[in-house]
């Protein structure tokens, strides 16, 4: 019998992960995306895999599993492709530069201790030894040993390479305009072609809400722009956090982000963001940095804060994996694995009710 065929709309981290896990189980997969590859969102992402906060609700469980999957996936992709996805268990430091911030960090420590999350107070000489790059303005830090980072672009390239080795085809320049389940198959129309398959997965990120609306479906996911800046001039050891921003080590460079902006589908970068992140570096770091590059991408923001995962109510062969907002790199691989399980088994792998796509 021929292998079941799956069309995946979207070659971001979520679509690529879905294609990777499906093809690993013998499904025939074609990915359709208007391009470019890798997506602007992937290229803008910081790739921080932040520690989980100890909650036990369905979203916290998903977060914890997503966090845990990365080390194993990085090792598997290296074995399959020889590529390094840049997964590093760096640890993270939340920083305080004023007495008010120091008091807030103390509260954060208490919150994490209550939930049995590993966190450690550091200041003075111990703080400088842990992270020698810090400026004299930094008074104290809260160390989170389970923070990790992966290079989002390297992850996407390795997922694609491994998926291709497993038979996946990527068709760039193809944007899905129309889809419908007809009996036991799904028909998909792009501007240049018509496709038929056994299943369709919508992994269309920030564009999911618009695409759904054109089909009379309610999948409320909208774009929220995020920008980052890349600087030369420092060698960080950890992921640093200050005033809601991250400073992330990337080899000899530092990536600083991210803004949160309601600007629709606009992916322009702005001088204000560059100035803001430059000032942040001057405050937190001992050495002078120089702006190298700036990027913007569109986070897919869901209504209700939870990603949309699973099949459509009236079209069970159309599945959705979208709305991962600020955690798509962290949750993308797990989402892909869950959807591959769902399609293989013919039903939800566990209780994913809270993530039902239609809201
Ligand atoms: C500045 C910034 C920093 C971030 N930092 C982090 C971080 O530290 N950690 C973390 O976990 N996450 C982070 N994120 C979030 C993360 O990057 C996203 O959640 C994730 O990349 C979303 O992946 P996706 O595959 O859903 O979407 P995308 O990567 O946007 O992919 C969607 C794809 O769908 C395609 N598409 C659109 N319409 C159609 C159509 N009609 N037919 C076919 N294809 C279509 C698009 O071309 C695109 O390639 C950050 C995001 C930004 C912007």
- According to DSSP, the β-strands at 169-172 and 28-33 are parallel
Based on the domain organization, do 31 and 123 belong to the same domain? no
Q: What's the domain count of the chain?
A: 2
The fraction of the chain above a pLDDT of 70, given in percent, is 100
Overall average pLDDT of the 264-282 stretch: 97
Whether this prediction's pTM lies above 0.85 is answered by yes
Based on the domain organization, do 104 and 198 belong to the same domain? no
Q: For ligand 1, atom 25, which residue shows the shortest CA distance?
A: 12
**Ligand 1 contact via 141 beta carbon (within 6 Å):** no
The whole-number pLDDT of residue 339 equals 98
From residue 82, give the alpha-carbon distance in Å to each of 79, 161, 251: 6, 10, 19
pLDDT of 1 above 70: no
Overall average pLDDT of the 168-182 stretch: 97
Ligand 1 pocket, mutate which of 204, 266, 302, 333 (most atoms under 8 A from CB): 204
Contact 168, 23 (CB under 8 A): yes
Nearest-atom number in ligand 1 for the CA of 295 is 1
* Domain with 102 in it: 92-145+223-302
Half-sphere exposure of 235 (CA within 13 A, CB side): 2
Based on the domain organization, do 80 and 198 belong to the same domain? yes
Looking at the DSSP bridge assignments, the partners of residue 178 are 189
The residue ranking higher by pLDDT, 1 or 19, is 19
**Ligand 1 contact via 328 beta carbon (within 6 Å):** yes
Tally the residues of the chain: 359
Based on the domain organization, do 59 and 118 belong to the same domain? no
Q: Nearest to residue 342, comparing CAs of 352, 333, 332?
A: 352
Distance 195 CA to ligand 1 centre (A): 24
pLDDT of 56 above 90: no
**Ligand 1 contact via 247 beta carbon (within 6 Å):** no
pLDDT of 308 above 70: yes
List Cβ neighbours of 191 (8 Å cut-off, separation of 6 or more): 174, 175, 177
The whole-number pLDDT of residue 22 equals 98
Q: What is the secondary structure of 228-267 as a DSSP string?
A: EEEEES---SSEEEETTEEEEEETTEEEEE---B--TT--
From residue 245, give the alpha-carbon distance in Å to each of 11, 88, 192, 255, 281: 27, 19, 42, 10, 10
- Report the C-alpha gap between 323 and 357 in whole angstroms: 9
How many CB atoms are closer than 10 A to CB 131?
21
- Report the C-alpha gap between 30 and 281 in whole angstroms: 43
Based on the domain organization, do 297 and 310 belong to the same domain? no
Based on the domain organization, do 196 and 339 belong to the same domain? yes
List Cβ neighbours of 1 (8 Å cut-off, separation of 6 or more): none
pLDDT of 233 above 90: no
Q: Is 70 helix (H, G, I), strand (E, B) or coil?
A: helix
List Cβ neighbours of 163 (8 Å cut-off, separation of 6 or more): 16, 19, 20, 23, 29, 31
pLDDT of 264 above 80: yes
- Report the C-alpha gap between 31 and 41 in whole angstroms: 17
Q: Where are the beta strands (DSSP E) in the chain?
A: 5-9, 28-33, 48-49, 92-96, 120-123, 140-144, 148-149, 169-172, 176-182, 185-190, 194-197, 199-202, 221-232, 239-242, 245-250, 253-257, 290-302, 308-311, 318-322
* 116 DSSP assignment: T
pLDDT of 3 above 90: no
Tell me the average pLDDT of the chain: 96
CATH classification of the domain holding 240 = 3.30.9.10
| Cis peptide bond N-terminal to 36, omega within 30 | yes
302, 328, 347 — which closes off a domain? 302
Question: pLDDT grade, residue 79 (50/70/90)?
Answer: very high
Q: For ligand 1, atom 28, which residue shows the shortest CA distance?
A: 12
The whole-number pLDDT of residue 234 equals 75
Based on the domain organization, do 216 and 227 belong to the same domain? no
Based on the domain organization, do 259 and 309 belong to the same domain? no
Based on the domain organization, do 267 and 349 belong to the same domain? no
Looking at the DSSP bridge assignments, the partners of residue 320 are 202, 310
pLDDT of 164 above 80: yes
Based on the domain organization, do 169 and 308 belong to the same domain? yes
Longest CA pairwise span in the chain (Å): 68
- Sign of the CA dihedral running 321, 155, 57, 342: positive
302, 321, 342 — which closes off a domain? 302
The whole-number pLDDT of residue 218 equals 95
CATH classification of the domain holding 62 = 3.50.50.60
pLDDT of 326 above 90: yes
Based on the domain organization, do 78 and 155 belong to the same domain? yes
Based on the domain organization, do 31 and 97 belong to the same domain? no
Overall average pLDDT of the 168-175 stretch: 97
Distance 296 CA to ligand 1 centre (A): 11
Q: For ligand 1, atom 31, which residue shows the shortest CA distance?
A: 12
Q: For ligand 1, atom 29, which residue shows the shortest CA distance?
A: 12
- pLDDT tens-digit map of 102-127: 999 999 999 999 999 999 999 999 99
**Which pair of structure tokens corresponds to residue 86?**
């840049």
């Amino acid at each position: 019998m021929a292998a079941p065929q799956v069309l995946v709309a979207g070659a971001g981290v979520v679509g690529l992960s879905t294609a990777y896990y499906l093809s690993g189980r013998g499904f025939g997969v074609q990915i359709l995306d208007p391009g470019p590859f890798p997506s602007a969102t992937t290229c803008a992402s910081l790739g921080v895999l932040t520690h989980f906060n100890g909650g036990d609700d369905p979203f916290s469980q998903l977060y914890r599993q997503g966090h845990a999957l990365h080390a194993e996936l990085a090792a598997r992709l290296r074995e399959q492709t020889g590529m390094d996805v840049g997964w590093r268990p760096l640890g993270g430091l939340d920083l305080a530069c004023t007495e008010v911030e120091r008091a807030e960090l103390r509260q954060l420590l208490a919150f994490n201790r209550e939930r049995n999350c590993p966190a450690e107070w550091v200041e003075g000489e111990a703080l400088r030894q842990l992270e020698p790059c810090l400026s004299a303005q930094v008074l104290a830090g809260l160390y989170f040993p389970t923070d990790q980072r992966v290079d989002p672009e390297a992850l996407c390239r390795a997922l694609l390479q491994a998926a291709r080795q497993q038979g996946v085809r990527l068709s760039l320049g193809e944007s899905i305009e129309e889809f419908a389940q007809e009996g036991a198959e799904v028909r998909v129309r792009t501007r240049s072609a018509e496709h038929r398959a056994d299943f369709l997965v919508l992994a269309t990120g920030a564009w999911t809400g618009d695409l759904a609306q054109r089909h009379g479906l309610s999948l409320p996911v909208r774009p929220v722009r995020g920008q980052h800046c890349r600087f030369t001039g420092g060698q960080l050891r950890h992921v640093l956090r200050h005033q809601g921003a991250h400073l992330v080590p990337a080899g000899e460079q530092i990536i600083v982000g991210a803004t949160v902006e309601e600007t629709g589908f606009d992916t322009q970068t702005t001088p204000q963001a560059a100035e803001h992140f430059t000032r942040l570096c001057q405050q937190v770091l001992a050495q002078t940095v120089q702006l190298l590059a700036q990027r913007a991408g569109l986070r897919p923001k869901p209504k209700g804060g939870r990603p949309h995962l699973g099949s459509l109510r009236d079209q069970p062969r159309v599945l959705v994996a979208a709305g991962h907002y600020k955690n798509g790199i962290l949750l993308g691989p797990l989402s892909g694995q869950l959807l591959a399980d769902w399609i293989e088994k013919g039903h939800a792998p566990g209780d994913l009710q809270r993530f039902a796509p239609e809201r």
